[in-house]
């Protein structure tokens, strides 16, 4: 089955209904969908690096890197390639399968493109999957990144179209959709999601999920961030979102986009182990791994390894299966292996 064989005609009513159904029913349904498409005990791990930090011209109200707010971040230049490769190697040694590089740009400049393209090909040649998030892309820029070997491009819609103008005024929702179309056309995989807890309502969460699920192809990766409230941003004092609403959002993302990796993204630093376990149960199967996101804190790698061990979760191997059939065969084999032996953990939950 190709990604395009999934539904792309979800309605707001359906999304609302899912988001408000009894919690246990929702989690059961999401976990059931999850098991049809993934090994439920595998989680993909990506490591993030900010390759260009601060002084961004955009005014995203949640973002510590916007030059419109004083969050104490200095303006840094694009990192040297050697430094990026050093960080990529460290991420790989710690077990990450994908390396995501982010820049605080509205869009990449002509002058920076050659450096960025070189970074992509060198990180890729280390055997890591590559992802970048550099702001808006024209078609020729997307094509150049694809040509250099970039696997994923991250560009978030962030929230519903209705709530969007409350959050960002310097680029439009349509600008974002245009970049996503350019990325898709270039042949790269799409990583696109949003942020919860920005003062949005249930309809905004439903609106974002429906928008993502009704794109011509589901994004291969769907990051669901919990707002990290950074002092100095206009969102520093926004009211907390009920954690169950966050879990519900993950569950509905799983149901609407059954074969996409749903990433439990920013915000894990403030989540308990139990909350994260609930997120995995709801169908999240990807995390950012390593003690820093772009500029804010993330759990220590050791703490995540320990959490995985306690939950019997294995980091997903880099996906080398190219067709849906190969993926399905690999999944079936993994499930059989798991049933046939207590492969990874003994009764004390220690590696066997």
Sorted by sequence, the CB contacts under 8 Å of residue 272 that are 6+ apart come out as none
Cβ contact 106:171 at 8 Å: yes
289 binds, among ligand DTB, ligand SF4, ligand SAM, none (CB under 5 to 8 A by kind): none
Annotation says 56 is catalytic: yes
d(CA 296, CA 93): 22
Annotation says 100 is catalytic: yes
- Sequential DSSP letters for 261-322: EEEE-TTGGGS-HHHHHHHHHTT--EEE-SSBSSSSB---HHHHHHHHHHHT-EEPPP----
**Which one is catalytic: 63, 192, 268, 279?**
63
- Strands 98-103 and 129-133, bridge-based pairing: parallel
- Sequential DSSP letters for 135-163: S---HHHHHHHHHHT--EEE---BS-HHH
* Identified binder of ligand SAM from the candidate list 262, 294, 307, 334, rule CB under 6 A: 294
- Sequential DSSP letters for 225-252: EEP---TTSTTTTPPPPPHHHHHHHHHH
Identity of the residue, 106 or 309, whose beta carbon is nearer to ligand SF4 in the bound complex: 106
**Which one is catalytic: 100, 192, 254, 268?**
100
State in angstroms the smallest separation of the CB of 271 from ligand SAM.
Answer: 13
* Identified binder of ligand SAM from the candidate list 266, 278, 287, 301, rule CB under 6 A: 266
Identity of the residue, 18 or 180, whose beta carbon is nearer to ligand SF4 in the bound complex: 180
Start-to-end Cα distance in the chain: 35
* Identified binder of ligand DTB from the candidate list 154, 260, 276, 285, rule CB under 6 A: 154
Residue 203, H or E segment: helix 202-213
Stretch that binds ligand DTB, among 86-94, 111-119, 202-210, 291-299 (CB under 6 A): 291-299
Residue 42 to residues 35, 63, 104, 300, 330, Cα–Cα distance (Å): 11, 31, 31, 19, 13
Range 91-120, binding ligand SF4 (CB under 6 A): 104
d(CA 36, CA 219): 18
State in angstroms the smallest separation of the CB of 266 from ligand DTB.
Answer: 4
State in angstroms the smallest separation of the CB of 42 from ligand DTB.
Answer: 21
When asked if residue 225 is in the footprint of ligand DTB (CB under 6 A), the reply is: yes
State in angstroms the smallest separation of the CB of 8 from ligand SF4.
Answer: 27
295 binds, among ligand SF4, ligand SAM, ligand DTB, none (CB under 5 to 8 A by kind): ligand DTB
**Which one is catalytic: 29, 184, 263, 268?**
263
155 binds, among ligand SAM, ligand SF4, ligand DTB, none (CB under 5 to 8 A by kind): ligand SAM
State in angstroms the smallest separation of the CB of 102 from ligand SAM.
Answer: 4
State in angstroms the smallest separation of the CB of 297 from ligand DTB.
Answer: 8
* Identified binder of ligand SAM from the candidate list 39, 129, 158, 200, rule CB under 6 A: 158
Residues binding ligand SF4: what is the number (CB under 6 A)?
Answer: 8
Annotation says 279 is catalytic: no
State in angstroms the smallest separation of the CB of 104 from ligand SAM.
Answer: 5
Cβ contact 221:186 at 8 Å: no
Range 229-268, binding ligand DTB (CB under 6 A): 265-266
Q: Cα torsion for 104, 109, 112, 113, to the nearest 10°?
A: 110
CA 180, 199, 34, 302 dihedral sign is positive
Closest CA to 117 of 105, 132, 106: 132
Polymer length of the chain: 352
x/- letters, 42..71, toward ligand SF4 (CB under 6 A): --------------x-x-x--x-xx-----
- List residues with catalytic annotation: 56, 60, 63, 100, 131, 191, 263
Residues that bind ligand DTB in the complex, under the rule CB under 6 A: 48, 64, 102, 133, 154, 156, 193, 223, 225, 228, 265-266, 293-296
């Amino acid at each position: 089955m190709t990604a395009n064989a999934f539904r792309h005609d979800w309605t707001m009513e359906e999304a609302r209904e899912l988001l408000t159904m009894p919690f246990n029913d929702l989690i059961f349904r999401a976990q059931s969908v999850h098991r049809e498409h993934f090994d439920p005990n595998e989680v993909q791990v990506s490591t993030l690096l900010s390759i260009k930090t601060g002084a961004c011209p955009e005014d995203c109200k949640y973002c510590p890197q916007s030059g419109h707010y004083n969050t104490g971040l200095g303006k840094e230049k694009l990192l040297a390639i050697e430094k990026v490769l050093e960080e990529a190697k460290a991420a790989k040694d710690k077990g990450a399968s994908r390396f995501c590089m982010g820049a605080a740009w509205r869009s990449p400049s002509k002058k920076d493109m050659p450096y960025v393209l070189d970074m992509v090909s060198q990180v890729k040649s280390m055997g890591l999957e590559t992802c970048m998030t550099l702001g808006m892309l024209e078609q020729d820029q997307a094509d150049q990144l694809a040509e250099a070997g970039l696997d994923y491009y991250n560009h978030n819609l962030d929230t519903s179209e209705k709530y969007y103008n409350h959050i960002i005024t310097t680029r439009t929702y349509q600008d974002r959709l245009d970049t996503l179309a350019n990325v898709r056309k270039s042949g790269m995989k799409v990583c696109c999601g949003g942020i919860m807890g920005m003062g949005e309502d249930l309809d905004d969460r439903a609106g974002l999920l429906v928008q993502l699920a009704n794109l011509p192809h589901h994004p291969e990766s769907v990051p669901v961030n919990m707002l990290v409230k950074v002092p100095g941003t206009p969102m520093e004092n926004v009211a907390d979102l009920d954690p169950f609403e966050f879990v519900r959002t993950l569950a509905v993302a799983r149901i609407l986009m059954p074969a996409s990796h749903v990433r439990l993204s920013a915000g894990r630093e403030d989540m308990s182990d139990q909350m994260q376990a609930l997120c995995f149960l709801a169908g999240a199967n990807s995390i950012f791994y390593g003690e820093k996101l772009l500029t804010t804190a993330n759990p220590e790698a050791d703490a995540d390894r320990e959490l995985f061990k306690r939950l019997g979760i294995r980091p997903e191997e880099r996906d080398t299966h190219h067709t849906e059939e190969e993926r399905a065969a690999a999944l079936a084999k993994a499930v059989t292996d798991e049933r046939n032996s207590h492969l990874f953990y003994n009764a004390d939950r220690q590696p066997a």
